Amino acid sequence: MPFSQKSLDFLFENRLHDSKEWFLEHKNEYETLVKAPLTELSAALGPVMLELDPQLTTDPAVGKTISRIRRDTRFTHDKSLYRDNMWIVYKRGKMYGREVPGLYFEVFSDGHFGYGCGFYDASTAYMETLRAQVRARTPAWKKADKALRAQQVFALDGERYKRPHFPDAPAAQRDWLELRGISFNARRRDPELLFSDRLADELAKDFRLLAPLYRFLLEVAHQQRAETVQRPWELEQKG
């Protein structure tokens, strides 16, 4: 079943009550209105995700591809119990922890939704490796940059340095070099699409545009991993 206005209303009302008791009383609504559409969408997008990367985890029963509605409040000042957004994430399991990119879809109680690929919180080491590849103008980066500029669905996002760190780099490279983190995101408010059976097909078409971008991020992950493994050996040799 597709999402509906009732799906959004549940997310809003559950977050408004922010009560375990209220949630348990209405858990059947959560299962039907929110979790079921997410599960169906996750399954429908699975084939295109495996086109992009056969090693992605796409089965919710195997990996945590669908978010929990209950928030983890251990490490945050915000102690609200429930979120008003839900998402699907496809990643390569726990390959490198923070060093592996993911692809995602996210829906919010106010009706807007987003999707794309990249990192929620890329490590400093990963971004250093990425910048090295950008500055070296590797074939993978050239393909990614060309793909980015050839489409109008996804924007290059990420927190930027407050002061330019690479003022002398070419403009095309600066777009990438000045980022502290990286993702490629589309943000939309289109209830007709969100509530329709066309959603998975439309998302799949757009996700295919991300192939060169995702593969560049994955190549950086492999390079960063190789550097991490190599460093202890180098230190031993120097010693």
pLDDT at 63: 67
Angstrom distance (rounded) from CA 155 to CA 116: 9
Answer whether 32's CB lies under 8 Å from 224's CB.
no
CA–CA separation, 183 vs 174, rounded Å? 15
**pLDDT, one tens digit for every residue, the chain (239 residues):** 799 999 999 999 999 999 999 999 999 999 999 999 999 999 999 999 999 999 999 987 766 789 999 998 787 778 899 999 999 999 987 544 567 999 999 999 999 999 999 998 899 999 999 999 999 999 999 999 999 999 999 999 999 999 999 999 999 999 999 999 999 999 999 999 999 999 999 999 999 999 999 999 999 999 888 877 655 444 344 44
Question: What one-letter code names the amino acid at 235?
Answer: L
Say what the pLDDT of residue 18 is: 95
Q: CA-CA distance, 232 to 234, in Å (whole number)?
A: 5
| Angle, alpha carbons 107-189-187 (nearest 5°) | 70
- Output the pLDDT for position 76: 79
Q: How far apart are CA 196 and CA 91, in angstroms?
A: 26
Neighbours of 44 (CB within 10 A): 15
Give the model's pLDDT for residue 1: 78
Residue 5: closest CA among 186, 187, 188, 196: 196
CB 40 within 8 A of CB 109: no
- Cβ proximity of 191 and 113 under 8 Å: no
Burial of 154 (0-12, 13-18, 19+ CB in 10 A): buried
pLDDT of residue 59: 84
pTM: 0.90
DSSP state of 110: T
Return the C-alpha torsion angle 94, 100, 103, 109, nearest 10: 70
Note the pLDDT of residue 94: 58
Query: CA 124, 128, 131, 137 torsion: positive or negative?
Result: negative
Question: Domain map of the chain by residue range?
Answer: 5-122+151-166+181-210
Q: Please list, in sequence order, all residues whose beta carbon lies within 8 angstroms of the beta carbon of residue 216, skipping any fewer than 6 positions away.
A: 133, 140, 141, 143, 144
The pairing of strands 85-90 and 113-118 is: unpaired
Predicted pLDDT of residue 64: 78
